[in-house]
Structure 1
Amino acid sequence: MSNAQLKKEIIAYSKRIGIDKIGFASADPFVTLKMRLKTQQDLGYQSGFEKGTLEERTEPDHLLPEAKTIIAIALAYPSKLKNAPRSKSGERRGLFCRASWGEDYHHILRRKLGELEKFIAERNPDEKCLSMVDTGELSDRAVAERAGIGWSGKNCSIITPEFGSYVYLGEMITTLDLPADTPLEDQCGTCNKCIEACPTDALIQGGQLDSNKCIAFLTQTKDFLPEKYREKIGNRLYGCDTCQVVCPENKGKNINNHPEMEPDPEVVKPLLEPLLTISNREFKQRFGSISGSWRGKKPIQRNAIIALAHFKEKSALPALFEVLKNDPRPVIRGTAAWSIGRIGGLETEKELKVAKERENDKEVLQEIEKSLETMKYE
């Protein structure tokens, strides 16, 4: 079988197993990407979640010797939440971003790539393959761009003509020498809507992101959130969709090809107050199957506390007082102190002063003192 014929068979098989889009790229080094990543590194724009050295991230043969081709895949995910529960006074809700709806996409894409690997191995048992999804060394976006899946948008997402940027990406490095596809031309043009809409100005310019300012990154951190970003978070518990929602290429795009990606409204838009005291077991049972749970419950709880301040939810004050008094984690106590101060009310001053007397952690004390200084009494 010729390599061109094998490529056709792989494409046909990918459609049969539910892969929405597939592309093929050479495994040559990503020279331009390497320079861009070095610049990001020098400017301090990296998140710290990146894996591997610059060479491993840009030279596929460092990961798989004799690599010749990279097969890129994309699966489209839904953008509309059906039967979404209302967030109202006394029952405020947070929100997980669309990329955390349904089953964890890492598992879904790995299954698809595993099926592709098996299909290839049955026809070419001597060839080697190495698959990765998101947490691998290679840049999913750079591979997808080279493979013609879509163009790299100013919002730092791959934008496909068919599905917009609402796609999950994965790739497989292989020693097979398959014909490469042609990259798509950039179609963002003069549009800057994503850059203008970014809540924290994390998009420095088209295609350049300061990860440390990005809400999607900030919601995943475990330490105190810098105060200047707390009000920007709103009711986001995990991730941020702003730069995708405003993108004209995403208008009207809502794909429901994969039942396992369909969101449970009560999971992705949960009540905030119960999150403050959720146990590890309860958290795992309820949220463990979605990608937004990967950092554990602490960031989600901290973000829920910030969200209650965003809503100025006075009915949550008793629960926040309990957190400030009894939670063993300084980040959670300190964030609760900040939230209490932002919500305000006559009863809060007494609670904060009592907390100040018993508190030993320096950072928590700073949060209490700032809240007492800036507290509103209406």
Structure 2
Amino acid sequence: MNTDQLKQEIIAYSKEIGIDKIGFASADVFGELKERLRRQQSLQYQSGFEKGSVEERTEPQRLLPEAQSILSIAIAYPSRMKDPPKSTKAERRGIFCRASWGTDYHVILRDRLEKLSAFIKEKVPDVENKLMVDTGELSDRAVAERAGIGFSGKNTAIITPEFGSYVYLGELMTNIPFVPDEPVDDSCGECTKCIDACPTGAIVQGGQLNAQRCIAFLTQTKGFLEDEYRTKIGNRLYGCDTCQVVCPKNKKIDFHIHPELEPENEINKPVLKPMLRISNRDFKETYGHIAGSWRGKKPLQRNALIALGHYKDKTAVDEMIAVMSNDPRPVIRGTAAWALGKIGTDEAFTAIKKSMEKEQDEQVLFEMEKGLDFQQELSATK
């Protein structure tokens, strides 16, 4: 088998099926990553969403014993909406991060990788392949870095020379010994814009992220959000793009290559009030196809309440009182009470006091007290 010729055929085919960049890496142990992950664990910086042990995430042969090479692919996604809808006083809007625009990228990348795998199998019938997209054990970024897709920036994203960091990553392990590609030189230099701009200080130092403080992670949690982060989340419903937006490598980067990844303005920048009481069926029909729906509607509704509080949206008070009074989920009732206090109308404070008379959940009662604390703050400033 002429692996060099096969490599060129794979590269050509990847372009035909909508892969924007492909690189080839060895399947050697990711030694430096292993040490970094252990350090992350010891500092309790991990999000908890990671799959597999440190060994499984850094030793490809544990996942495919015959693995000799890893193919890394990148697909570019848009960074700007065309004619984005405006948030008005009557219709305040939230925002999904760019990585949740269009069809769920897991579906798109898996499709490309399955086609790639089938193409290789056609050429080499006895080949052993294993593909992964984001939810697999291997670190997409570590593989992409080794395969020359881009370098790992201080914001922990892979930054490509062509598409900046606005790329989705996936990989295909194989037992074919391809010649590896050369890594791309790190060119962050002395720049610290991402570190300086991170709303919560989650980028501890260049290339190290405390996921527990990262807004992208926090928007996906299901419990009560700590007060410190409620003031930082703004109108974000899912994810955070700050460290990408400020990156000089992303200046003027905006690729609209794949129709299925185009933003759907009313879905990706939705009016907040209708989200508060959306049914499971309507939620699935409206948001089920996007990556930002994977944790269900509860985190998004909690974030919508915080956003409405942040906006001090008086037009949402009646709807929020209904949620506080009737929603069966303590996190939603309590967050509604906090947000009502933040909005700070007499009607809101009266409703919180009334709801406290029948509320049984201690955490919700604690949030109601915090909501009423805003009344004292208002009185002190008058």
**TM-score > 0.5, shorter chain as reference:** yes
Shift of 1:195: 0.2
For 1:346 and 1:115, the matched residues in 2 are separated by: 60
2:233 matched residue in structure 1: 233
Within 2, Cα distance between the matches of 1:311 and 1:175? 55
Q: Distance in 2 between matches of 1:124 and 1:373?
A: 68
- The residue that corresponds to 1:5 in the other structure is 5
CA RMSD of aligned residues (A): 0.8
Distance 1:100 1:259 in 2: 14
Distance 2:55 2:346 in 1: 58
* Whole-angstrom CA distance in 2 between matches of 1:311 and 1:370: 18
2:105 matched residue in structure 1: 105
Q: CA deviation at 1:370?
A: 1.6
Matched positions, count: 378
Determine helix, strand or coil for the equivalent of 1:130.
strand
**Is 2:71 the counterpart of 1:71?**
yes
The residue type equivalent to 2:321 in the other structure is F
In structure 2, give the amino acid aligned to 1:97.
C
Corresponding residue for 1:21?
A: 21
Mark the runs of 5 or more structure 2 residues left unpaired by the alignment.
none
Query: Tell me, what secondary structure is at the counterpart of 1:107?
Result: helix
Q: Following the alignment from structure 2 to structure 1, what is the Cα–Cα distance between the partners of residues 18 and 249?
A: 23
CA distance in 2 between counterparts of 1:73 and 1:348 reads 51
Distance in 1 of aligned mates of 2:349 and 2:221: 29
SS at match of 1:81: coil
Give the alignment of 1:186-335 within 5 angstroms: 186-335=186-335
User: In structure 2, what is the equivalent of residue 171 of structure 1?
Assistant: 171
Cα offsets for 1:81-133 (capped at 9, x unmatched): 11211101010000000000000000000000000000000010111000000
User: What 5-or-longer segments of structure 1 have no aligned partner?
Assistant: none
Q: State the secondary structure of the residue aligned to 2:350.
A: helix
- Partner residue of 2:84? 84
Measure how far apart 1:171 and its partner are.
0.2
Aligned to 1:25, the other structure's residue is in SS state: strand
Q: Secondary structure at the match of 1:102?
A: coil
Residue matched to 2:371: 371
Structure 1 residue 374, shift from structure 2 partner = 2.4
The DSSP-based 3-state class of the residue aligned with 1:277 is coil
1:193-245, CA deviations, whole angstroms, 9 ceiling, x for partnerless residues? Answer: 00000000000000000000000000000000011100100000000000000
* Letter of the 1:326 counterpart: N
2:43 maps to 1:43: yes
Amino acid at match of 1:347: E
Tell me the alpha carbon deviations over residues 173-196 of structure 1, each in whole angstroms, 9 at most, x when there is no partner. Answer: 100100100001100000000000
For residue 349 of structure 1, report the CA deviation from its aligned partner.
Answer: 2.0
- Alignment deviations for residues 344-373 of structure 1 (CA, whole Å, 9 cap, x no partner): 012222111111111000000001112112
**Does the 8 Å contact 2:66/2:128 carry over to 1?**
no
SS in 1 for 2:19: coil
Q: Percent identity?
A: 63
Q: What is the rounded CA distance, in whole Å, between the counterparts of 2:4 and 2:237 in structure 1?
A: 46
- The range that moved more, 328-337 or 343-352, is 343-352
CA distance in 1, matches of 2:174, 2:305: 46
Work out the CA distance in 2 between the residues paired with 1:214 and 1:31: 25
CA distance in 1, matches of 2:198, 2:11: 37
TM-score w.r.t. length of structure 1: 0.99
* In 2: Cα distance, 1:87 partner to 1:188 partner: 35
Task: Work out the CA distance in 2 between the residues paired with 1:349 and 1:114.
Answer: 56
Q: Does 1:129 align with 2:129?
A: yes
Under a length normalisation based on structure 2, what TM-score does the superposition of the two structures give?
0.98
Partner of 1:341: 341
Q: Contact 2:106 / 2:133 at 8 angstroms: preserved in 1?
A: yes
CA distance in 1: counterparts of 2:213 and 2:165, whole angstroms: 21
Q: Counterpart of 1:24 in 2: which secondary structure?
A: strand
Structure-2 separation of matches of 1:358 and 1:93: 32
C-alpha displacement at 1:66, in angstroms? 1.5
Asked if structure 1 preserves the Cα contact closer than 8 Å seen for 2:340 and 2:349, the reply is: no
What is the distance in 2 between the residues matched to 1:41 and 1:260? 37
Q: 1:54 is matched by which residue type in structure 2?
A: V
